[in-house]
Amino acid sequence: MINYLEKTGKTEEEAIAAALRELGMERDDVSVELVERAKPGFLGIGAQPAKVRVSWETEDEAPTPAAKAPVEEKKPAEKPAVKTEGTEEKKPAITPAAAPADESADYTAVRSFLSGLLEHMGINAEINMSEREGGGIMVDLAGPGMGAVIGRRGETLDAIQHLTNYAVNHGNEKHLRVSVDAENYRAKREESLTKLAEKMAEKAIKYKRSMALEPMNSYERHVIHTALQNYEGVTTASTGTEPNRRVVVSYVRGEQSTSGKPQSREWA
């Protein structure tokens, strides 16, 4: 279910910050739509605050049957013991890494869910976990067949991350944020998106016009917004509806770009 919250502030960034403080969320947890731009007025007269509408999704639906974490009754270790003599069946070996003895309950929950999900997908992957910057858990998957895990432009990887977060947080009061990556895909994708953003910004300034990028998911749009938030001479905004929502990079006149206002007007 999609939830909405409107907030105002002297600038768009202040309005966004106020909404995030009230929700206790991070910027990449929400989508932000600019409702009204801030107007300085004349000598303070007629000034109008900026208004933003923040939306976020609550996970009130159970994951699909194929993505549910398997119960412990399915123990992969018992399968090879079925046939010890005669002709052996040749099947892909799915051997989820065993959890370290001193691993925390959160790490164990994430490892358990991902091991079962990858087993259902027929993928044998090494699950490496570390503390995520800003809190939470960072997961990096490694092994053969990572192309199937990543999917087209990271869509499958995003779905795995979403399901993992749902599975480990469902029914818990404390929210644990889990980021899932594979073969350092996200860092490589962010690098290419940042280069694309700067290229579009240069074009917008050169031709003094708006440049629309191809449709992207919320994560990729966020990377574009972040890359250009302090880029002088341009502003960014998201437009359209999913799955065709895209970022537009617009030229800003000299006096506007040097006014100290944030250059990114809308997030994801």
Which residue did the predictor score with more confidence, 103 or 73?
Answer: 103
Cα–Cα dist 62/69, whole Å: 11
Q: What is the DSSP string of 12-78?
A: HHHHHHHHHHHHT--GGGSEEEEEE--B--BTTBT-B-EEEEEEEE---SPPPGGGSPPPTT--GGG
Residues 155, 128 within the same domain: yes
CB atoms closer than 10 angstroms to residue 199: 12
Q: What is the rounded average pLDDT of the residues 48-59?
A: 76
Integer Cα distance of 197 and 227 in angstroms: 7
Higher pLDDT, 2 or 244: 244
Kindly state whether residue 145 falls inside one of the protein's structural domains: yes
What pLDDT band is residue 93 in, cutting at 50, 70 and 90? very low
Over residues 98-107, mean pLDDT: 70
Binning pLDDT at 50, 70 and 90, where does residue 256 land? Answer: low
Output the pTM of the full model: 0.52
Q: Give 88 or 119, the one with higher predicted confidence.
A: 119
- 78 within a domain of the structure (yes/no): no
Summarize pLDDT for 222-241 with one digit per residue, the tens: 999 999 999 999 999 999 99
Which DSSP symbol is given to 264?
A: B
Whether 82 is in a domain gets the answer: no
Asked if residue 220 has pLDDT above 60, the reply is yes
Q: What percent of the chain has pLDDT over 90?
A: 42
Structural domain count, the chain: 3
Q: Which residue do the tokens 């002088």 mark?
A: 232
- Identify the CATH number of the domain in which residue 262 sits: 3.30.1370.50
Domain that holds residue 109: 99-183
pLDDT band at 42 (very low <50, low <70, confident <90, very high): low
- 91 falls within a domain: no
Could you tell me if 30 and 54 are in contact, meaning their C-beta atoms sit under 8 angstroms apart?
A: yes
Same domain for 245 and 179? no
Residues 34 and 111 in one domain: no
Q: Per the domain annotation, does 147 fall within a domain?
A: yes
Place of tokens 């250009």: 228
Residue 68 in any domain: the answer is: no
